[in-house]
A and B are shown apart, each in its own frame.
Chain A
Amino acid sequence: MRSALAIRNLYLNVAGKAVLHGLSLAVPAGEIHVLMGRNGSGKSSFVHALVGQIPVAAGEVSLDGVSLLGLPPEIIAQKGLFLAFQTPVALPGVTITQLLRSALQARQEKGKLFDHMQFHDDLEAAMEFMGMDASWASRHVNDGFSGGERKRCEMLQALILKPKYVLLDEIDSGLDVDATRIMVNAIRLLHRRGTGMLIVTHHSRWLEVLAPNGVHLLSDGVIHRSGGMELARAIEAEGFQAAQ
């Protein structure tokens, strides 16, 4: 069986309302897939359900053949699934270094010593790649950050934690041109490392350079249509109604 983040026949209810009605989707290892859909179509609820924040009503979610349903969020993360939040919370009092060190230590094999020097070298390199000053390491997570800075902080975490699959929930929203370029480069780096990605976005232009393996349109609680970049272009040019 090919390694993948696989979602089969997923049903999801949020606040008593049915949001997904049997959604199926697969993101094979190392591939980039894109999820598009109207505001309120359930894209964010979907990715939040995958990481265990919203309970699933029915269906199956597996990562490389291992079911994720019912697992606590920290175990899902340790198995290799990472969500870059659309609106990450601020954590006053918790520095970026503390967060990442705690997250890496949680993944540490029992009995193995944590390599602090390696961690600091990796963090420094990743911050430089993300265009972050070294002082960011001691800043409190997302506290007083602009929207764009929060997105970069999310991607920094993905680069350090090296998950197998990354869910990017509107990681491009609110970014200036330079920040968008940095984000694209970070996605390319993850791709080169073999990370599978599901990108939730409303915009197709920045996807041209990423050349995604698949584009999927979420509508009425299911994947209504799948295709390549031509689908993203059609949505951008003609809107969701025409693309359906």
Chain B
Amino acid sequence: MEYKKLSTMLPADGILNVPGGFWFIDDLPAEASYELRLDAHVRCKFILHLGLQGHRIRRRVIFSICGENAKLDAHVLIQGAKNQCIEWVGIQRHLIGNAESNLFIKSTAENAVEISIISKIILDANATKSCAYFQNKNLILSNRAHVTARPELEIFANDVHCSHGAAIGGIDPMEEFYLRSRGISQRAVKALLQRAFAEEILCQMPNDMPCNQAR
């Protein structure tokens, strides 16, 4: 699939009726708010990396599913370093049924990073036979780092498939020991496992994205 940068497509009012068949890359500055609307039969993939935009980063994104047979796959990777403060507020709103949305967010927090992830699925009364999923995994790499995750559901329709979940944890001590037993320093092990955690989303990002230059 070809990819398009949001910075070149987003209208002044921040509402974009997305054409299907593309990857949409969020390349907007540190603070941004927008709505992506998917009409009937539109299928698109959305990619976002947060972490390189500045000290305070904030995203408010509404994915509106407006037509039947629309499908959204959204992948968000948040990588906080130093004492960054990063906030994600997302809404998957299904206004009509027979459509699907998947939002997958991963975050890593080092040093004194603060990350807040609030994500809500809203299924309107007309959204029967909708499928909406939200999954969030967070890796904390320092005692001073802080991650808050708040997955929410509001379902007003019957006959729907819906799931949401969030997990926050540190590095698995067994994985850490295994790598150290191969002679790799604790610091290098941390970097390796941090990279491994992000790989699931990083590998889907185009090679020319700044976060992917070192791959």
Contact = CB atoms under 8 A, between A and B. Distances in A.
Interface residues on B, range: 20 to 34
Nearest to A78: B183
Contact of B192 (A82, A102, A107): A102
Contacts of A127: none
A130 B162 CA distance: 46
B193 interface: yes
Contacts of A93: 193, 195-200
A88 interface: yes
Contact of A106 (B188, B195, B198): B188
A93 B202 CA distance: 10
B31 interface: no
A42 B195 CA distance: 36
Nearest to B194: A93
A79 B90 CA distance: 50
Main DSSP-derived SS at the B contact region: helix
Interface stretch (B20-28, B93-101, B141-149, B170-178): B170-178
B181 interface: yes
A161 B179 CA distance: 13
Interface stretch (A6-14, A69-77, A117-125): A69-77
A108 to B, nearest CB: 10
Interface centre among B183, B185, B197 (most CB of A within 10 A): B183
Interface residues of A, number: 27
A103 B185 CA distance: 9
Contact of B177 (A73, A98, A99, A140): A73
B186 interface: yes
A77 B186 CA distance: 13
A99 B188 CA distance: 11
Nearest to A77: B183
B132 to A, nearest CB: 26
A89 B174 CA distance: 7
Interface centre among B175, B180, B181 (most CB of A within 10 A): B181
A78 B182 CA distance: 8
Contacts of A82: 181-182
A94 B196 contact: yes
Contacts of B175: 89, 91
A77 B189 CA distance: 14
Nearest to A88: B178
Contacts of A83: 181
A99 B182 CA distance: 8
Interface in A59-117: 72-74, 76-78, 82-83, 85, 88-89, 91-94, 98-99, 102-103, 106-107
A39 B192 CA distance: 35
A157 interface: yes
B180 A74 contact: yes
A40 to B, nearest CB: 20
A74 B183 contact: yes
B184 interface: yes
A51 interface: yes
B180 A102 contact: no
Interface in B54-107: none
Nearest to B182: A103
A244 interface: no
Contacts of B188: 102, 106
Interface centre among A77, A94, A107 (most CB of B within 10 A): A94
A173 interface: no
Contacts of A76: 181
Given A89-B174, A92-B199, A103-B183, 13 more contacts: A51-B181, A73-B180, A74-B180, A74-B185, A77-B183, A89-B175, A91-B178, A91-B193, A92-B200, A93-B193, A103-B182, A106-B185, A161-B182
Question: Which 3 A-B residue pairs are closest in the complex by CB-CB distance?
Answer: A93-B196, A77-B183, A93-B199
7 contacts: A88-B178, A89-B174, A91-B175, A93-B195, A94-B193, A94-B196, A102-B184
Interface of A: 51-53, 72-74, 76-78, 82-83, 85, 88-89, 91-94, 98-99, 102-103, 106-107, 140, 157, 161
